[in-house]
């Protein structure tokens, strides 16, 4: 038995080494979209200050960007199914870069709507990147280490978020009435992304193929097969949507919450958000390491319980203890996206790319921040955390079900 385990471990390590270079290249993309998504959380408060708009109005930043995810996820899946992972990545980078550079004419127009259009285009680009990269990482090596591998890649997503909130936060919240010029970081980002697109257009990324099954040859679309024959995938889809509602809404509301509670000013709040995202990144690195030793389903269940407890403490309005609980929540929630994503894709074979495109519609959950903004504008700054609480409870239900199935 020990000899078989050692042989399996050696085989897994050999397989992982084979795909090391593609893995490193794809992982660099996680940093990029982590940076792009985290900017939104700073941009939200910046536009409130510069344009004198409400939390609810500024929430259109998240709504517009994640609407791009929702509308383009299935087209992205079709594109990647037909043209492959590499071209999907390149096309996503081109949309991302163009959207960022459009901030230049957007600033000349000078309207909030022009900036929203730019963010929508960026969102369309990001969904191509994520639809290609997330499942590709799970395929680059042994299936036994797929969840751990995706958590490792997603850790660099957290690193991108840290850089965005710290650097862009300090730049935009420069203690002047208008703040920094938002065009500057987006111009630099746009140029960098287009250079990376050129690099990816020149490299060779191996395509992963699966043996055709009876399900592949059966009548019906891939989407109908997923909803008809893979009930736990559908539950995973709901759980991932619920997680996105919770995670994106908390990130977007963070600066509004800590400043609204009079704990700190905008500039300090952006640093506090950076610290929270550092907890998030550490949580993913730790999660990746731990899940090489315990089952992913067990880890997901533990973290789901942790998130529910933390948000209940925030809702209890316990002063700085609530802030500590909120920071701890970032540690617990860190492994959820890659873990749910990987578990939901398990055993789907040639349906993987289509399933991935459906899973990448879930960032539309970021619109949950709009509901948090509506509640905050009309009640108290603590009450909006009911929204992420409901999300984490659904994740807990999914984690408990997967844990039971894994025990059988």
Per residue in 310-343, pLDDT (tens digit) is 999 999 999 889 999 999 999 999 999 989 998 9
pLDDT band (50, 70, 90) for residue 217: low
Q: How far, in Å, CA of 298 to CA of 29, rounded?
A: 28
**Other beta carbons within 10 Å of 403:** 18
Per the domain annotation, does 215 fall within a domain? Answer: no
**Which residues lie below 8 Å from residue 240, measured CB to CB, with a gap of 6+?**
337, 340, 341, 344, 359, 362
- The pLDDT assigned to 175 comes to 66
Residue 97 lies inside a defined structural domain of this protein: yes
- The answer as to whether 302 is a domain residue is yes
Render pLDDT for 357-401 as a digit per residue (tens, 0 to 9). 899 889 888 888 888 988 988 888 999 999 999 999 999 999 999
What is the number of structural domains in the chain?
1
pLDDT at 14: 44
pLDDT at 89 over 70: yes
Identify whether 6 is part of a domain. no
Please indicate, yes or no, if residue 163 is contained in any of the structural domains.
yes
Query: Three-class SS of residue 317?
Result: coil
> With b meaning 16 or more CB within 10 Å and e meaning fewer, what string describes 82-94?
eebbbbbbbbbbb
Q: Does the structure show a pLDDT above 70 at 262?
A: yes
Q: For the packed helices 336-345 and 146-163, what is the interaxial angle rounded to 10 degrees?
A: 150
- Give the CATH number, domain containing residue 155: 1.20.1250.20
Give the pLDDT confidence score for residue 107 in this predicted structure. 86
The arithmetic mean of pLDDT across residues 113-123, rounded, is: 93
Note the pLDDT of residue 1: 45
123 has pLDDT over 80: yes
Distance, CA of 228 to CA of 329 (rounded, Å): 35
Tell me the average pLDDT across 28-52.
84
**5 is a domain residue:** no
Q: How far apart are CA 381 and CA 8, in angstroms?
A: 52
Measure the N-to-C terminal CA separation of the chain; round to a whole number of Å: 21
Share of the chain above pLDDT 90, in %: 36
Beta-carbon contacts of 153 under 8 Å, excluding residues fewer than 6 positions away, are: 23, 26, 27, 30, 133, 137, 338
Position 394 scores a pLDDT of 97
Contact 250, 329 (CB under 8 A): yes
Distances (CA, A) of 243 to 351, 399, 404: 23, 12, 20
- The answer to the question of residue 268 being in a domain is yes
The DSSP-derived string for 4-48 is HHHHHHHHHHHHHHHTHHHHHHHHHHHHHHHHHHHHHHHHHHHHH
* Structural domain that includes position 40: 20-203+220-407
Q: What is the CA radius of gyration of the chain?
A: 21
- For 274-298, letters b (16+ CB in 10 Å) and e give bebbbbbbebbbbbbebbeeeebbb
User: Is residue 214 in some structural domain?
Assistant: no
Indicate the average pLDDT of the chain. Answer: 85
């Amino acid at each position: 038995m020990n000899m078989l385990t050692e042989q399996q471990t050696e085989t897994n390590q050999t397989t992982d080494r084979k795909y090391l270079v593609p893995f490193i290249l794809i992982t660099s993309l996680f940093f990029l979209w982590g940076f792009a998504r985290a900017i939104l959380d700073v941009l939200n408060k910046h536009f409130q200050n510069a344009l004198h708009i409400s939390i609810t109005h500024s929430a259109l930043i998240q709504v517009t960007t994640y609407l791009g995810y929702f509308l383009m996820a299935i087209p992205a899946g079709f594109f990647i199914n037909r043209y492959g992972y590499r071209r999907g990545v390149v096309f996503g980078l081109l949309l991302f870069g163009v959207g960022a550079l459009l901030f230049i004419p957007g600033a000349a127009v000078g309207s909030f709507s022009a900036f929203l259009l730019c963010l929508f285009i960026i969102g369309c680009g990001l969904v191509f990147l994520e639809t290609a990269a997330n499942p590709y990482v799970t395929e680059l090596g042994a299936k036994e280490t797929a969840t751990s591998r995706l958590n490792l890649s997603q850790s660099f997503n957290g690193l991108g978020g840290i850089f965005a909130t710290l650097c862009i936060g300090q730049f935009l919240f420069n203690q002047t009435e208008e703040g920094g010029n938002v065009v500057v970081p987006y111009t630099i980002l746009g140029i960098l992304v287009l250079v990376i697109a050129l690099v990816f257009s020149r490299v060779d990324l191996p395509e992963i193929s699966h043996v055709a099954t009876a399900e592949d040859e059966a009548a019906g679309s891939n989407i109908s097969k997923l909803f008809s024959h893979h009930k736990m995938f559908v539950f995973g889809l709901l759980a991932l949507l619920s997680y996105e509602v919770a995670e994106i809404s908390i990130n977007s509301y963070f600066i509004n919450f800590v400043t609204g509670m009079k704990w700190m000013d905008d500039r300090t709040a952006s640093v506090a958000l950076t610290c929270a995202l550092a907890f998030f990144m550490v949580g993913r690195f730790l999660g990746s390491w731990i899940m090489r030793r315990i089952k992913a389903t067990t880890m997901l269940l533990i973290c789901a319980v942790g998130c529910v407890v933390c948000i209940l403490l925030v809702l209890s309005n316990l002063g700085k203890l609530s802030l500590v609980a909120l920071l701890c929540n970032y540690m617990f929630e860190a492994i959820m996206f890659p873990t749910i994503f990987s578990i939901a894709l398990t055993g789907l074979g040639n349906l993987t790319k289509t399933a991935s495109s459906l899973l990448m519609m879930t960032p539309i959950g970021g619109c949950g921040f709009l509901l948090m903004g509506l509640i905050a504008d009309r009640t108290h700054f603590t009450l909006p955390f009911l929204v992420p609480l409901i999300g984490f409870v659904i994740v807990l239900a999914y984690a408990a079900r997967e844990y039971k199935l894994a025990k059988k």
